[in-house]
Amino acid sequence: MRTLILGGIRSGKSAHAEHLLADAPAVRYVATGSADGDRAWRARIDAHRERRGDRYRTVESCDLASLLRDFPDEPTLVDDLGNWLTALLDEAGAWEDEAADVSAQIEDLCAAIAGYSGDLVLVSPEVGLSLVSPTPSGRRFADELGRLNAAVAAVCETVTLVVAGRALDLPAGTGAVPAAPVPVSASTAPSSPVPAEEPARPADAPAPRRATVSEPAQIDGTDAEIFPIVELPDHDVAEQARARQLRLTKPARSLGRLEELGVWMSSCQGVCPPRTLQSPAVVVFAGDHAVAADGVSAYPPEVTAQMVANIATGGAAINVLARRAGATVQVLDMAVRADTDPHVSRYKVRAGSGDLRTGSSLTIAEARRAVAAGRAVADQLVDAGADLLIAGDMGIGNTTPAAVLVGTLTDREPVVVVGRGTGIDDATWIRKTAAIRDGMRHARRHRNEPLALLAAVAGADIAAMAGFLAQAAVRKTPALLDGLITTSAALVAQQLAPGAASWWQAGHRSTEPAHAFALDSLGLTAILDLSMRLGEGTGAVSALPLVASSIDILTDMATFDEAGVSGGE
């Protein structure tokens, strides 16, 4: 949900914005105006802070684009754009210089808004409904505000006008947004044009939450399974990193696996010492599977859509762990049987994947679209600055297709690869084993045809993960693998893009027996073994701080010469 709320002073627009986020367990409140001012102004701010309560975490900043990109899935309320624009015009000296142009900053903000995956509500004063002095500077502000509101509206799914506490959703516009400001003769700068906060809406007049509209992404699946040659991480830089490890103030190899991870990160980045991670990103690929309807899981299939909504609003385990690790999270509905938020489902291939027991999870065309979607998401994140990628999963019953893939590609029998998944009992285990057996009958004929294999037994969520992980390697971006589902997709990704596994590390080892077979086949050793089996990307994100620490060791630790410590021979 990306919503722009427009209104005049004391119209109730802030209260309406807060109402739209009433269901979020926690909200980031971005205040663009200073809390400094006269006594009455401070009293108003204190009253509104008290009204919002402990769910709100206040951030005071005018660097909106960076804030939105840093945590693009966190429910966020920005209040308001009028103060942000005033600060922008101040910084540009636009009150005295009529040639000053803030178009680039407005375009950057709109790009950050368009890429936001969580619930985002922005409050802005509507032109003509706010107090603006009738001076050259006031006219400049009004012109720029109109252009800003139109540009933001163009990238929001809903635009609402609030008057006297009543909300009216506006129809989609068709006019073009001016590309440049209207020149005016500037003199004196106006004071802050709009108070940042509004009085509460009356209890008997709640504003309804309305459905948002998002256009599905246009994905061309043509030749999606054909990847360019994967270039391996830089061997020479890896040797430089190993040599540096020997010069650091510690016995050789005394930090064990941390040293290996630091060398790997150096080779992936092509520089020693490696750069500190700035933008690790998690993408959770969600989908339902027909086999789940026959009782192969401890949970009913409808839980998938419920958990997708939970992840989208920041309430799942992956969100909690990612916040601690400094990673962003987005969830994508690739094949959830129920309707989900339009932004979450923009890459959706179908409503539920088919029955793997009959070898008909997807058509070849659907498999191509899913792989292409995963590739497109990886490209978008890398282009936006992501420096480490993690794929997560969400789907009741998805350990069954994952076990089919692992059993097929590692030549194991169904009874060996079947696991307890979400905690199934013996009767469910028997049904699951039978389903894996039936799926492997169809999968084995395609073990050397990765796209056909994905179509037969994988489902759109796992196919998208395979495309995502393979494309990460093509783009020379390191990735951490999570548990069984992600690693089953990695087995196929290694077939699609040979050499891709050199760009991956295994974040953890799941309790699912098939996971160990998959890791052995890929030649990967898990960083953590904490008896985890949740999925979502949680195991990989749990390992992320250790990867970051391995970089810090190479970057920040002193050498024997630098520290004046002897015994480094």
- What is the set of active-site residues? 536
- C-alpha–C-alpha distance, residues 409 and 358, integer Å: 18
Which string of DSSP letters, residue by residue, matches 425-476?
A: -HHHHHHHHHHHHHHHHHHGGGTT-HHHHIIIII-HHHHHHHHHHHHHHHTT
- C-alpha–C-alpha distance, residues 438 and 567, integer Å: 62
Q: Which amino acid is at 222?
A: T
Residue 298: closest CA among 422, 140, 155, 176: 422
Assigned token pair, 197 = 């906060």
**Terminal-residue alpha carbon distance, the chain:** 60
- Yes or no: say if 381 and 471 are a contact pair by the CB < 8 Å rule: no
> Helix, strand, or coil here: 134?
coil
Taking phi first (over 0 means left), then psi (-120 to 50 degrees means alpha), and beta for anything else, what does residue 326 get? left
- C-alpha–C-alpha distance, residues 426 and 424, integer Å: 7
- C-alpha–C-alpha distance, residues 77 and 197, integer Å: 11
- C-alpha–C-alpha distance, residues 123 and 418, integer Å: 51
Assigned token pair, 66 = 């960076």
Assigned token pair, 209 = 């939450």
- C-alpha–C-alpha distance, residues 220 and 365, integer Å: 10
Query: Is 278 exposed, middle or buried (CB count within 10 Å of its CB: 0-12, 13-18, 19+)?
Result: exposed
Residue the block writes with tokens 């309807």: 293
- C-alpha–C-alpha distance, residues 489 and 89, integer Å: 49
Residues 6+ apart with CB under 8 A from 175: 150
Q: Report the chain's C-alpha Rg in angstroms.
A: 26
User: Is the backbone peptide bond immediately before 387 cis, with ω within 30 degrees of 0?
Assistant: no
* Half-sphere CA count of 477, side-chain side, radius 13 A: 27
Strands, E assignment, 92-242: 120-125, 158-163, 166-169
Instruction: Give per-residue burial for 294-308: e unless 16+ CB within 10 Å, then b.
Output: bebbebebebbbebb
- Phi and psi (nearest 5°) for 124? -150, 145
User: Is the backbone peptide bond immediately before 513 cis, with ω within 30 degrees of 0?
Assistant: no
Strand order in the sheet with 526-528: 328-335, 280-287, 388-394, 479-481, 504-508, 526-528
Residue count of the chain, please give it: 569
Residues 6+ apart with CB under 8 A from 123: 5, 7, 13, 14, 17, 77, 78, 79, 80, 81
Measured at the alpha carbon of residue 567, what is the angle toward residues 564 and 569, in degrees to the nearest 5? 110
